Amino acid sequence: MVSFTTFLIASLAGASLAAPTKAPLAKRSNSKKGISYNDASLVSLFSDGSWAYNWDMSVGGSLPSGVEYVPMFWGTGSESGWDAAVQTALASGSTHLLGFNEPDLSSQSNIDAATAAALYKQYITPYASQATLVTPAVTNGGAPMGLTWMEQFLTDCNGECGVTVMAFHYYADDNVSNFENYVNQAISTAASYGISEVWITEFQATGVSDDAQAAFINSVVPWLDQQPAVGRYSYFYAADGYLTSGGALSETGSAYNSAE
């Protein structure tokens, strides 16, 4: 797709030496691209991105207009305040809810699949008529973690959790075909439980240079955009040393913002 921003910069470059550094914030895309953050003020650095989340149930600041905030029930301990937070989010335009963060990892929410399914049904399923419900997001660890944990969770849900989107994370090197194969494997796992949409709520090429991360982003973002089963994705993440640097987009942040 021809980029409007490229056209704009090319046009202005003829008239002025000063190229604009970012597009107007009001002009948000309907893209699958999301911004994950802890500091809400960093989200406005991104001119592209239709949704955002912070591993929490409240926005914690203000997001640019046109960006959907997606609350998360992080794990055990999130019960208090959840219903009030969801009411606030729904009233502010949220249309999706995220389940637990990396329940398959002991250092994250660390919940076994059976307990997770019961907790999910108690706290998140009641909103199935008001929002699209997303599964817990698993790591890409091998069995019993990752997609194996997800299969057990979906089995334990027994079709009663109300989930219509499956979420997962991916951290590995910058091998593009390995990433695409893994996404396809996750799509197959979801499909075998009657779920036709997946979200990659965290992913990053790790242990490689910023140049290699930018090249990885420029390869996989267009591919993700073309996959009908991929609903949304979010590269890790809007924070200093990652997608931002000193209050501006970093090299990887610029690549992620402009990739299409």
Ligand X SMILES: *[C@@H]1O[C@H](CO)[C@@H](O)[C@H](O)[C@H]1NC(C)=O
Closest separation in Å from C-beta 7 to ligand X: 33
- The stretches of 45-175 forming alpha helices (DSSP H) are 82-91, 113-123, 146-157
Angle between helices 176-191 and 210-226 (to 10 degrees): 40
Quote the radius of gyration of the chain (alpha carbons, Å).
18
With H, G, I as helix, E, B as strand and everything else as coil, classify residue 101: strand
Asked if 206 touches ligand X (CB under 6 A), the answer is no
Binding segment (CB under 6 A) for ligand X, from list 110-118, 149-157, 171-179, 248-256: 171-179
Q: Is 209 in the site for ligand X (CB under 6 A)?
A: no
Burial of 192 (0-12, 13-18, 19+ CB in 10 A): exposed
Q: Kindly tell me which of 140 and 257 has the beta carbon lying closer to ligand X.
A: 140
CB of 155 to ligand X, least distance (A): 29
**Is residue 177 a contact residue for ligand X (CB under 6 A)?**
yes
Q: Which is nearer to ligand X, 3 or 178 (CB)?
A: 178
Residue 181 CB, shortest distance to ligand X, in Å, is 8
Q: Does residue 158 touch ligand X according to CB under 6 A?
A: no
Nearer to ligand X, 38 or 178 (CB): 178
**Among positive and negative, which fits the CA dihedral 104, 150, 73, 221?**
positive
Nearest distance in Å: CB 178, ligand X: 5
User: Beta-carbon neighbour count of residue 162 at 10 Å?
Assistant: 18
Q: How far is the CB of 93 from ligand X (least distance, A)?
A: 41
Which one of 59-67, 155-163, 174-182, 250-258 is the stretch in contact with ligand X (CB under 6 A)? 174-182
Between 107 and 177, CB nearer to ligand X: 177
Phi, psi of 42 (to 5 degrees): -75, -20
Least distance (Å) between residue 216 CB and ligand X = 11
Structure tokens at 13: 């470059």
Nearest 5°: the CA angle 242, 247, 250 is 40
Beta carbon of residue 67, minimum distance to ligand X (angstroms, whole number): 34
- 182 or 242, CB closer to ligand X? 182
* Among the listed residues 175, 192, 206, 209, the single contact to ligand X using CB under 6 A: 175
Q: Which stretch binds ligand X (CB under 6 A): 134-142, 156-164, 173-181, 190-198?
A: 173-181
Q: Which two tokens stand for residue 5?
A: 């921003």
178 binds ligand X (CB under 6 A): yes
Candidate segments 9-17, 41-49, 147-155, 175-183, binder of ligand X by CB under 6 A: 175-183
Tokens linked to 48: 């592209």
Under DSSP, is residue 79 helix (H, G, I), strand (E, B) or coil?
Answer: coil
Give Cα separations from 248 to 22, 50, 151, 156, 258 (angstroms).
10, 19, 40, 44, 14
Residues that bind ligand X in the complex, under the rule CB under 6 A: 175, 177-178
